[in-house]
Amino acid sequence: GAGVSQSPRYKVTKRGQDVALRCDPISGHVSLYWYRQALGQGPEFLTYFNYEAQQDKSGLPNDRFSAERPEGSISTLTIQRTEQRDSAMYRCASSPQISNTEAFFGQGTRLTVV
């Protein structure tokens, strides 16, 4: 595609439900990063992949959060048993190089847990 695509753009879910957020990176981009952005803050690192391998998940808040990128392209961030504190903008970025000197961001998914 022309850019990084994230879906859904908006998600409202009830506390305790599981949600899956999708990121479709620019074709051929090797690195994919997930960030979370709370209101009034900058994005914060969650996890990243080089190709299909998850390299670092140290930014994931707890074990309810997981991510995968099974074929080195589309990635899914899953949040189990959602809580109100999970409400935030979730951003995905892809880069053509591992050095990530040119990251392209999607429009984000606004998650609201009620």
Partner 1 sequence: AQSVTQLDSQVPVFEEAPVELRCNYSSSVSVYLFWYVQYPNQGLQLLLKYLSGSTLVKGINGFEAEFNKSQTSFHLRKPSVHISDTAEYFCAVSSVSGGSNYKLTFGKGTLLTVNP
The contact mask relative to partner 1 for 48-87 (x = CB under 8 A, - = no) is x-x----xx--x----------------------------
Amino acid occupying residue 41: Q
Q: Output 17 or 41, the one with its CB closest to partner 1.
A: 41
Q: Output 66 or 105, the one with its CB closest to partner 1.
A: 105
Which residues does 22 contact at the CB level (< 8 Å), separation at least 6? Answer: 6, 7, 8, 74, 75, 76
Count the helix, strand and coil residues of the chain and give each as a percent rounded to the nearest 5.
5, 50, 50
Instruction: Identify the residue among 14, 27, 28, 42 touching partner 1 (CB under 8 A).
Output: 42
Amino acid occupying residue 50: N
Q: Examine residue 25 and tell whether it contacts partner 1 (CB under 8 A).
A: no
